[in-house]
Amino acid sequence: MGTISIPEPALPGFGVLQDLSEDQFEDLIRFLDGVSVIDKREKIQDFFDTIVEKDNGVNLFLTISSFSRLVKPGVSMNELASDLSASYAEQTNFQDQQIIDVLQERLSKILNKYAGLGEYRKARTLQFRNEIILNETTMLTDIRMVFSDDIHSDRRAAIIMHKLNITFTKDDLTQNVYYTLDLDDLRQLKIEIEKSIQKEEILRTSYKDTLTFIN
C-alpha cells in the first residue's frame, strides 16, 4: 500500500495509542475482540471514554474508526500497520524509531482484531451516509410587542414567537438552522413526533424476535 494519507482529525489518536500503558492497551485489544455489529453505540463510546480521559478517548476512537476505509479483503494487516506507522511518522515529523516500532506493533494487533469494529463502523456509515444527523435542539420563546401608530396609546398588541434552533452534522460539518414557529406549528410538530414514536414502538415490538436493532 505504501504511504497513506492520514486525515488530520485522525492524527492525534496515534499519539494517544502510543502513550497507552500495557494494561490499557490489553483492555483495548480485549474490547475490540468482543465488539459486534449489534452493540449499542453507548457501549462503544463508554469504553473509549473510560479507557483514557474523555478527549483522548474521542481521539483514539476517531483514529481507530478511520481504519475502516483501509481494511479490505486481501490486505495484509501487518503491512498495513507498518505503512500506517511510517506514514504517521512522516506526516508529523516524528523521529523516535523505538516508539514508532511500538506503534507499529500495536497497530498490527488492533488491525488483526478489527473485524467486529469494522462491521460496526460500516453499519453506522450506512445508517448516516448523506444524512443530516441531529446533534441538539433548543426552543426559545419570547413576546414581540406590536405598537400602533400612536406609541403612547394603551391599545397594544403582542405576538408570541417560538424559535427552534437545530444543530446538526452533515458530511462531518456542524451547522445550525433556525425555524420561527407559532402555536399551530408546535401542535402539528407534536402530532408528527407522537406518530413517529408510535411507529417505532410498533416496529420494535413486531420484529423483536427476528431483528436486533443497533440504534
- 211 pLDDT higher than 90: no
More confident residue, 3 or 139: 139
Q: Of 93, 128, 163, at which residue does a domain stop?
A: 128
Edge to edge, the sheet with strand 173-181 lists 133-146, 157-170, 173-181
Residues in the chain: 215
What percent of the chain clears pLDDT 90, i.e. is strictly above it? Answer: 34
pLDDT tens-digit series, residues 96-124: 889 999 999 999 999 888 777 767 666 66
Query: Do 171 and 124 have their domain in common?
Result: no
**Distance (Å, whole) CA 67 – CA 88:** 13
Query: Do 117 and 156 have their domain in common?
Result: no
Query: Do 79 and 104 have their domain in common?
Result: yes
> Is 168 a member of any domain?
yes
- The pLDDT score that the predictor gives to residue 130 is 54
pLDDT tens-digit series, residues 132-160: 667 788 999 999 888 877 878 777 788 89
Query: Do 156 and 56 have their domain in common?
Result: no
- 35 pLDDT higher than 90: no
Query: Do 110 and 202 have their domain in common?
Result: no
> Is 92 a member of any domain?
yes
Cell, residue 48: 473509549
The model's pTM is: 0.56
Query: Do 102 and 18 have their domain in common?
Result: yes
**Distance (Å, whole) CA 69 – CA 7:** 11
Domain extent at residue 105:
8-128
Query: Do 18 and 107 have their domain in common?
Result: yes
> Is 20 a member of any domain?
yes
Is there a contact between 92 and 122 (Cβ–Cβ < 8 Å)? Answer: no
> Is 84 a member of any domain?
yes
Query: Do 44 and 99 have their domain in common?
Result: yes
Query: Do 177 and 91 have their domain in common?
Result: no
Q: Of 86, 112, 128, at which residue does a domain stop?
A: 128
Mean pLDDT of the region 71-92: 88
> Is 199 a member of any domain?
yes
> Is 107 a member of any domain?
yes
Burial of 123 per CB tally in 10 Å (0-12, 13-18, 19+): middle
> Is 215 a member of any domain?
no
Query: Do 24 and 76 have their domain in common?
Result: yes
Query: Do 144 and 116 have their domain in common?
Result: no
Quote the number of domains for the chain: 2
> Is 213 a member of any domain?
no
Query: Do 93 and 118 have their domain in common?
Result: yes
Q: Of 99, 128, 157, at which residue does a domain stop?
A: 128
Phi, psi torsion values for 61, nearest 5 degrees: -65, -40
